[in-house]
Structure 1
Amino acid sequence: MKDTARAIELVGKTAILEFKLLDEDSPLASKLPGVIPSSEEDKVMKEFGDKVTEGDEILFGRHFNQETGVETKTVYLMKKQTLMTGEFLTEARVSLNQRANEPYVSISFDSTGAKIFEQVTANNKKKRLAIILDSNVYSAPVIQEKIAGGNAQISGSFTMQEARDLAIVLRSGSLPAPLTMLQNVTVGPSLGSDSIKAGINAGLVAALIVIVFMVVYYKMSGLIADFALVLNIIFLIGVLSAFNATLTLPGIAGIILAIGMAVDSNVLMFERIREELRLGKTPKAAIDSGYDKAFWTIFDSHVTTLITAVVLFQFGTGPIKGFAVTLGWGVFINLFTALIGTKTIFDLITDKREVKRISI
């Protein structure tokens, strides 16, 4: 968002998201007009306001026709009891209805909210559940069946901009308290781009230094380790591309750390192989024994790091999650490239002919 003043205005609104049932069994519900011009809201309240029972209230849903430019409002007789609020909301994002080519806002609840939402839908089948934001009814769908999983959507003939604004307001509305602006700092796109480029350059330099070191110190075996390292990076970038992930500075840091762990795995195995060679074993026996003895050490360290990455992803925020994703996938892929990829190359070399000496 380029307009900072508008961003502050949107985030500063603490939206109240509520889920309530329509009272369609009340005699008054059939007397209310369905759709009215936007200007007649006060007229409806004057005519029917004093007839509403204590447990009910009249609310309106706004509808804007983009073709005609006319705004209308739908009149609802609502039960006052709030079945659920936005405090359990964990995500609000804009999606596109491919069939209607209209944007809508999909929302997700935490585990507690998912259970409440499931119970609400299970106990009120065939009734209309209104999705209300700041006393404005955005949607009132019929509950056809119990909805599990904690996911829902808000649709209301939005423009893309309206849907984006609603998602921003909903995300701020899930906070337990209103926001107070203490500092306003604007980071331009050129600064962010420079930081990403610097991070990528740092990663490339680090990878290059590691590749050179492995070749100098472990000779031909170092080349095999470098091949596995390049394979690791290619697979990791492929996974990130498959998930349409955005590369951020924390994500780049995770990739660099994964590169370090990949090299560490190969160092452990190569040093084990050297020990076996010093004991007088043949190259093939030394390789097999070295990999067997280093396997559980490497496996345990990677699993421990993977658990850490899962915890960071589960409880961290945006930048931390980016770091956790790249680190987690990097560790997972390295288990394959280090333990299986390099071993396969060594096996291809030693199985084709009798090798009396290996360069390590």
Structure 2
Amino acid sequence: GAERFAETLRRLQVGEQLAIILDGVVYSAPAISESAKQAAQQGWREVQSSLTITGKFTFDQAKLLAVVLRSGALPTEVGVLEEQTVGPTLGSDSIRRGTMAILISFIMVLLYMVLYYRWMGLVADAALILNMLIVFAALRAFGATLTLPGIAGLILTIGMTVDANVIIFERIKEERRTGKTARASIVGGFAKSMSALLDANLTTIITALILFSLGSGPVEGFAITLALGVAGSLFCALVASRLLLETTGIGEHIPVKVQAQA
């Protein structure tokens, strides 16, 4: 490469321009100087060691030109390995159906939690709504686009958020059955469910990060929504739910069924 460049310089006259082109884009066209011509006559080693490009460049322009000179053209052509065409009607219909699936599952989970856990179900519903807001805000902040795999990750997030609250609530009810006060039951329930929640959610987040780093396209969309959703569910379950139970007095409505003593 250096020898061919030196030969090109030897053929050009002083004052002629030599364009620097990458992928069809001209980044610079410096004029051949007398010193460059003399270096070319001495051989490619002299060109490689002494050739410089002078001009009125900004720092960013000089940095870009250096990158272009180091990069050069791609050694091979880029080929298409797989091509799929999805019509706009099919794509929009799939997104619409996916969005409808999120809404239906979201509403059904909200209703189920209230019917089964009563007042504590309202806490779980508030945590779920907060988690969805966190996920959508994060996606918007990252400039991510919601795709079908991303919708699947959101639906899974709904289940993970509710599952965390179910574990906590059942632990609280167990503590309440032993005769403890509502506040003591809440503290004990969260303490006993902490390790299980951390293990389950952290392993899921690690898996999602591996999928994001090794996957591409649809896999990345699923992984990022899943990771954001699980991280948000962990925060909402351990922080938001506990805060609501302790400050709103809902913990006082936990049913008391003291275990009979033998």
Answering whether residue 197 of structure 2 is matched by residue 335 of structure 1, we say: no
- Which residue, out of 247, 254, 257, partners 2:146? 247
* 2:94 is equivalent to residue 195 of structure 1: yes
* Structure 1 residue 186: Cα displacement: 2.5
2:212 pairs with one of 313, 318, 343 = 313
| CA drift at 1:27 | 7.9
1:251–1:64 CA distance, 2 compared to 1 (3 A): same
Deviation at 1:332, TM superposition (A): 0.8
Query: Identity, % of aligned pairs?
Result: 39
Output the aligned Cα RMSD: 3.8
Query: What TM-score does the superposition give when structure 1 sets the normalisation length?
Result: 0.54
Report if the CA contact (8 A) 2:128-2:161 is conserved: yes
Q: Counterpart of 2:159 in structure 1: which amino acid?
A: G
Residues 1:129 and 2:69 are matched in the alignment: yes
Normalized per residue, the structure richer in strand is 1
* 1:126-159 Cα deviation digits (max 9, x unpaired): 9983433368xxxxxxxxxxxxxxxxxxxxxxxx
Matched residue type, 1:358: I
Q: Which runs of 5+ in 2 are unaligned?
A: 33-39, 45-57, 59-63, 257-262
Deviations, residues 193-234 of structure 1 (Å, cap 9, x unaligned): 110110010011001110000000000110011001000000
What TM-score do the two structures reach when normalised by structure 2? 0.73
Question: Is 2:167 the counterpart of 1:256?
Answer: no
Alignment of 1:32 with 2:6, yes or no, is no
Q: Is the CA contact (8 Å cut-off) linking 2:173 and 2:254 kept in structure 1? A: no
**Contact 2:98 / 2:148 at 8 angstroms: preserved in 1?**
yes
Name the SS for the 2:71 alignment partner.
strand
How far the C-alpha of 1:29 sits from its partner, in A, is: 2.8
- Maintained 8 Å contact 2:119/2:253: no
Number of equivalences: 225
| Aligned 8 A contact 2:128 2:162 in 1 | yes
What is the DSSP-based 3-state SS (H/G/I as helix, E as strand, rest coil) of the residue aligned with 1:280?
A: coil
Residues 21, 319 of structure 1: CA spacing in aligned structure 2 closer, same or farther, 3 A cutoff? farther
Higher helix share: 2
Aligned to 2:174: 275
How far apart are 1:189 and its partner, in Å? 1.2
Letter of the aligned partner of 1:131 in structure 2? S
**Aligned counterparts of 1:262 and 1:326: Cα–Cα separation in 2:** 13
Check 1:216–1:180 CA distance in 2 against 1; reply closer, same or farther (3 A cut): closer
Q: Quote the Cα distance in structure 2 between the aligned partners of 1:344 and 1:311.
A: 32
Match of 2:108 in 1: 209
Alpha-carbon separation, structure 2, partners of 1:282 and 1:201: 42
How far apart, CA to CA, are the structure 2 residues paired with 1:203 and 1:74? 62
- Deviation of 1:333 after TM superposition, in Å, equals 1.1
One-letter code aligned to 1:331: V
Contact 1:22–1:130 (Cα < 8 Å) also in 2 = no
What is the match of residue 186 of structure 2?
A: 287
Aligned-residue offset at 1:36: 7.1
Asked if 1:348 corresponds to 2:247, the answer is yes
In 2: Cα distance, 1:330 partner to 1:349 partner: 25
Residues 1:238 and 2:137 are matched in the alignment: yes
- Note closer, same or farther for the CA distance 1:180–1:27 as it changes in structure 2 (3 Å cut): closer
Corresponding residue to 2:198 among 277, 299, 315: 299
Runs of 4+ aligned residues of structure 1 deviating over 6 Å after TM superposition are 20-24, 72-75
- Once the two structures are superposed, what CA deviation does each residue of 1:145-196 show, in whole Å capped at 9, x if it has no partner? xxxxxxxxxxxxxxxxxxxxxxxxx9x73xxxx5467xx6531112101101
Which amino acid in the other structure matches residue 204 of structure 1? L
Tell me if the contact between 1:214 and 1:223 (Cα under 8 Å) persists in the aligned partners. yes
Q: Which has the higher contact order (CA 8 A, sep 6+)?
A: 2
CA distance in 2, matches of 1:304, 1:357: 34
The aligned amino acid for 2:128 is L
